[in-house]
Amino acid sequence: MEADFTVYLAAMNDEQLGLFWIVASPRAKEWIQGELVRRAAARGEVPVASQAAERSTERKVAAA
């Protein structure tokens, strides 16, 4: 079942993954984060991740 889940998520584009992040389980969030970093690296981008920024985003979404 987990393989089906990751195949489904892998088919999403970056924006869709970002939206799914809002309702995802902690395990799915971990996979999504790794996938987005992998995709950014494949494009030659250098992703900058910050836990503080992540918490800020979560608060903004919760407030909306």
Prediction pTM value = 0.56
Note the pLDDT tens digit of each residue in 8-43: 888 889 888 888 888 888 888 888 888 888 888 898
Return the pLDDT at 53: 55
Of 13 and 52, which is predicted with more confidence?
13
pLDDT band at residue 1 using 50, 70 and 90 as cut-offs: very low
Domains contained in the chain, number:
1
| CA 41-45-48 angle, 5° bins | 95
Tell me how far apart the alpha carbons of residues 1 and 24 are, in angstroms, rounded to a whole number: 16
DSSP string, the chain: -HHHHHHHHHTS-HHHHHHHHTT--HHHHHHHHHHHHHHHHHTT------HHHHHHHHHHHHH-
Residue 8: domain span? 2-63
pLDDT of residue 63: 55
**pLDDT for the residue 62:** 55
Alpha carbon 37 to its chain's center:
9
